[in-house]
Amino acid sequence: MSGLGKKGYGKCPLGLRGDLTKWFQEIDTGVYVGNVSARVRDLLWKRICERCGSGRAIMVFSARNEQGYSFYIYNTAWKPVEFDGIVLLKKPLPIKRSVKTTCSKGKKRDLKSDVAKRKRQVQLRPVDITEGILNMDIEAPLSFVALDIETTGLRSKEDSIIEVAVVRYEHGSQVDQYHALVNGGQHVPEAVTVLTGITDELLAQRGRATKDALDKVLSFIGDHVLIGHNAIFDIRFLREACSEANIRMEQIQYIDTVAMAKALCREAVDNFRLETLVKKYTIADRQMHRALPDAILAAELYLKLIEKQEEPGEKSTFL
């Protein structure tokens, strides 16, 4: 088993390392080898996915198949593909810029015109994004799905999703959306009701079963890049809810607008809350604290930050 930590290969979180060394021998930094039962293996893999956060992990193990082995992957840009009965890992190709914005000598650059032209003409290819990092030397995707959820609290293992929204954009324009209240049977705290307006009664009347909502959301996302404000929070809740509902959740490539804002406008705002940033870029007067409008706000903020990235002298990696 090879463990990959939050900031690169081999840097395994300490708490997770303790779990692994109970069963495996660490033969190199972040590389663990051992012989365990399938039950222990799967329990350890679940613990890895819970504790790895935005890090990466790969587990390889023997199996009774044509290859003689199989593997699990977590949070990697490489994806498993089947080829003539053999499972291989496919590495996405890097994006190359397909549209160049230039201006003639002595003519002032029209940024809005350039961005609009880029949205119309850009040809998107697979994006190599790992751990929610987008290197802006490659093309920022203009086709994506924006996600936002509302929950009963901040702890993914103890609290539950009460509302979810996903909004699909193609070439920078909104084309589809899905929204649902989710009734997972958990009480909505008064503080959450005050913030969102969502009550136990509302969920009882209009809430969908968690599994139904999750199936629809995952199908909607598909293989799109996910956009979110503090995206890892939403993804952790999705993973935990899918685990409880016994739903397989594929690896998700995502871009966090918090990281983008920190890279591009650190000196221009006091904090990086969604409400602060949408006011800064005159997208909206306030944050709604409901899943659908906030997913749209995150998407519009992302597009604004792409425009800022296009300004002369701006070049950043969103960490």
The percentage of residues in the chain with a pLDDT greater than 90, rounded to a whole number, is 41
Shared domain check, 311 and 173? yes
Structure token digits, residue 27: 């033969």
Shared domain check, 70 and 17? yes
Amino acid in the structure at residue 30: G
Cβ within 8 Å of residue 123, ≥6 positions away: 98
Shared domain check, 118 and 86? no
* Distance (Å, whole) CA 305 – CA 263: 10
Q: Is the pLDDT of residue 278 over 90?
A: yes
Cβ within 8 Å of residue 93, ≥6 positions away: 125, 126, 128
Among the listed ranges 91-100, 133-142, 224-233, 288-297, which one has the minimum average pLDDT value?
A: 91-100
Q: Which of 90, 120, 136 is the last residue in one of the domains?
A: 90
Q: Which is nearest to 133 in space by CA: 171, 173, 77?
A: 77
Residue 138 forms part of a structural domain: yes
Residue 314 forms part of a structural domain: yes
Overall pTM > 0.75 = no
Measured from the Cβ of residue 150, the count of other Cβ atoms closer than 10 Å reads 24
According to DSSP, residue 279 is labeled: H
Shared domain check, 247 and 282? yes
| pLDDT tens digits, 54-105 | 677 888 888 766 667 777 877 776 766 665 556 677 666 544 433 333 444 4
Residue 156 forms part of a structural domain: yes
Measured from the Cβ of residue 108, the count of other Cβ atoms closer than 10 Å reads 6
Q: For the chain, how many structural domains are there in total? A: 2
| pLDDT tens digits, 14-62 | 777 777 888 888 887 778 888 888 888 888 888 787 777 667 788 888 8
Shared domain check, 80 and 41? yes
Q: C-alpha angle with apex 68: 62 to 69, nearest 5 degrees?
A: 45
Shared domain check, 154 and 298? yes
Shared domain check, 194 and 304? yes
* CATH code of the domain containing 134: 3.30.420.10
* CATH code of the domain containing 53: 3.30.70.240
Residue 74 forms part of a structural domain: yes
* Distance (Å, whole) CA 147 – CA 155: 18
pLDDT of residue 75: 72
139: containing domain: 112-318
Q: Which of 90, 125, 150 is the last residue in one of the domains?
A: 90
Shared domain check, 120 and 81? no
Instruction: Band the pLDDT of 210: cuts 50, 70, 90.
Output: very high
Q: Identify the residue with better confidence: 284 or 106.
A: 284
Shared domain check, 157 and 14? no
Residue 182 forms part of a structural domain: yes
- 284 with 99: CB under 8 angstroms? no
Residue 105 forms part of a structural domain: no
pLDDT of residue 63: 74
Shared domain check, 240 and 132? yes
Shared domain check, 209 and 293? yes
Residue 104 forms part of a structural domain: no
Residue 287 forms part of a structural domain: yes
Q: Is the pLDDT of residue 292 over 80?
A: yes
Q: Identify the residue with better confidence: 100 or 203.
A: 203
Cβ within 8 Å of residue 288, ≥6 positions away: 294, 297
Structure token digits, residue 11: 């840097």
* Distance (Å, whole) CA 243 – CA 309: 37
